[in-house]
A and B are shown apart, each in its own frame.
Chain A
Amino acid sequence: MHSSTGILRTLGLILAGSIALLSSPVHSGTAVTPGSRAAGMESCVAPTAEIRRNHMDYLKHDRNRVVHEGVRDVKHSLAGCVECHAEKDGNGGYHPINADGQFCSGCHEHLAVNLTCFQCHSKEPDRKHSDAASLSGIRNAGQRGRLGLLIKLNEAPALSSEEMAQLHALSREE
């Protein structure tokens, strides 16, 4: 009797520990790299939780509008992600965003999801000319500033209750 409760307790502890380990790197703390433009901004183009869960769909949707319809003023663009999240390397350039420990690869490696965007797309923002076409969506969103906050390192919960409610409302809509 005693031994079986002991085993259960140990199993429980291991389970709890592994759940905590699995969830911690992505959901606690921020993935935003300190030397990027995003670090100084209040929010992404949508609440962090929403972007984390749906960015791939948003990007795919808007890329079709850009490529086939010629609408460049879209809210979600890969060039926008790179522009904001690329970390400066201190020599006037940027670290490639898919390099080890950088914004995109951080999560994608953790989740073992292939990141193939950058086989074709630029891994860093253009140095001299800022591509106005790809950026206007981001700028507008920055001005809006009403959406979710980036999660800070010292903040415990990953999602605020409002963000969670919004997220659930969205998934119900689908």
Chain B
Amino acid sequence: MTGKNEPNDMKRREFIGRTVLAAGAASVAPGILLTVANAKSEGEGASSDIRWGMLIDSNKCVDNCTACVDACERENGINLLQRPEGQGDEMWNAQRPQWIRKVKLRDRQTDEVTNLPMMCQHCEFPPCVDVCPTGASFKRADGIVMVDRHICIGCRYCMMACPYKARSFIHKNVEKQTVRSPRGKGCVESCNLCVHRIDAGATTTACQDACEKDGHKAILFGDLKDPESQLSKALKEKSSRQIRADLELNTGVRYTSL
């Protein structure tokens, strides 16, 4: 070992020191974390001990209310998008990104109307991930299905594959974004269960908060793998459905009163 290598040695020593510290911290952490309803800290990655999911009570979802859609657009910077010059209403409404949208079902025989918010269902076996040629469409350890826009080539196979029409494509250059929601021409995107909030330790999504604020409480977000979570308890009590359960995708978003 020569004198020239000293900076290296310093680095190694520092590294060992930090690793020991980190190991110490890790052994204390789990006990503490359990008490705060699986909220994660920033330094911790997504864990497969958690599977994020949702339960939507379509009886509580009110006709003509768009609280969840508006909140989603604000949270994820969709409201910052400008309509391209000269684009008509029809094209704009068809092409602008929609992470969550209201779907109205009408029973043809009884005329019964059901409202429900529809978004990425965060499948356990997501078809969008199956078809993605680059690996941009992926499922995180905690069950959130996302697009890595750094490697998305904009082929839109995933949009074709998704049975829920959950994905949107950005057709034009984007002038303004928020820090938490990057967005640019040529990539596909969809609901990511407000992943920036989850990663910062939050346990609610923007749509859930908005729905609750308006007093409807139709959306319940939580950990499907934690039997003590409100979500798991609600799922145990009420009968719920997956949309297109026949596809056996095991969706993370479930609906009751449907």
Using a CB–CB cutoff of 8 Å, the interface residues on chain A facing chain B are 63, 65, 67-73, 79, 82, 119-122, 125-126, 131-134, 136, 165-166, 169, 172-173
CB-based contact A131/B199 at 8 Å: no
- Give the contacting residue for B179; candidates A70, A126, A169, A173; CB below 8 A: A126
Could you say which of B25-33, B39-47, B116-124, B239-247 contacts chain A?
B39-47
Q: Collect the chain B residues with CB atoms within 8 Å of residue A169's CB.
A: 4-5, 7-8, 11
CB-based contact A67/B184 at 8 Å: no
Q: Collect the chain B residues with CB atoms within 8 Å of residue A121's CB.
A: 177, 179, 182
A-B contact pairs, 5 of them (CB 8 A): A72-B42, A79-B179, A120-B183, A122-B176, A133-B180
CB-based contact A120/B187 at 8 Å: yes
CB-based contact A119/B173 at 8 Å: yes
Q: Collect the chain A residues with CB atoms within 8 Å of residue B42's CB.
A: 71-73, 132-133, 136
Using a CB–CB cutoff of 8 Å, the interface residues on chain B facing chain A are 4-5, 7-8, 11, 40-46, 138, 140-142, 146, 148-150, 173-174, 176-180, 182-185, 187, 195-196, 198-200
Q: Collect the chain A residues with CB atoms within 8 Å of residue B199's CB.
A: 70, 72, 133
CB-based contact B150/A71 at 8 Å: no
Q: Collect the chain B residues with CB atoms within 8 Å of residue A72's CB.
A: 42-43, 196, 199-200
CB-based contact A71/B179 at 8 Å: no
Q: Collect the chain B residues with CB atoms within 8 Å of residue A131's CB.
A: 179-180, 196
Docked pose: A148 CA to B195 CA in angstroms:
34
CB-based contact B174/A67 at 8 Å: no
CB-based contact A122/B46 at 8 Å: no
Q: Shortest distance in angstroms between A130's beta carbon and chain B's nearest beta carbon?
A: 9
CB-based contact A71/B146 at 8 Å: no
Q: Shortest distance in angstroms between B68's beta carbon and chain A's nearest beta carbon?
A: 21
CB-based contact B41/A73 at 8 Å: yes
Q: Shortest distance in angstroms between B100's beta carbon and chain A's nearest beta carbon?
A: 21
CB-based contact A71/B44 at 8 Å: yes
Smallest CB-CB separation from B183: which chain A residue?
Answer: A120
CB-based contact B178/A126 at 8 Å: yes
CB-based contact A82/B179 at 8 Å: yes
CB-based contact A119/B200 at 8 Å: no
CB-based contact B43/A122 at 8 Å: no
Docked pose: A121 CA to B149 CA in angstroms:
11
CB-based contact A68/B140 at 8 Å: yes
Residue in A68, A79, A134 with the greatest tally of chain B CB atoms within 10 Å = A68
CB-based contact B43/A63 at 8 Å: no
Q: Shortest distance in angstroms between B39's beta carbon and chain A's nearest beta carbon?
A: 13
Q: Collect the chain A residues with CB atoms within 8 Å of residue B146's CB.
A: 67
CB-based contact B187/A70 at 8 Å: no
Docked pose: A119 CA to B150 CA in angstroms:
11
CB-based contact A70/B142 at 8 Å: yes
Given the contacts A119-B173, A121-B182, A71 and B148 also touching, CB distance less than 8 Å: no
Q: Collect the chain B residues with CB atoms within 8 Å of residue A166's CB.
A: 7
Docked pose: A73 CA to B44 CA in angstroms:
8
Docked pose: A121 CA to B146 CA in angstroms:
17
Q: Shortest distance in angstroms between A70's beta carbon and chain B's nearest beta carbon?
A: 3
Q: Collect the chain B residues with CB atoms within 8 Å of residue A122's CB.
A: 176-179, 182
Q: Collect the chain B residues with CB atoms within 8 Å of residue A119's CB.
A: 173-174, 184-185
Smallest CB-CB separation from A65: which chain B residue?
Answer: B45
Q: Collect the chain A residues with CB atoms within 8 Å of residue B200's CB.
A: 72, 132-133
CB-based contact A71/B45 at 8 Å: yes
Smallest CB-CB separation from B147: which chain A residue?
Answer: A67
Q: Shortest distance in angstroms between A81's beta carbon and chain B's nearest beta carbon?
A: 11
Q: Shortest distance in angstroms between B122's beta carbon and chain A's nearest beta carbon?
A: 14
Docked pose: A116 CA to B156 CA in angstroms:
22
Q: Shortest distance in angstroms between A101's beta carbon and chain B's nearest beta carbon?
A: 20
CB-based contact B184/A70 at 8 Å: no
- Give the contacting residue for A70; candidates B46, B174, B177; CB below 8 A: B46
Smallest CB-CB separation from A77: which chain B residue?
Answer: B179
CB-based contact B184/A69 at 8 Å: no
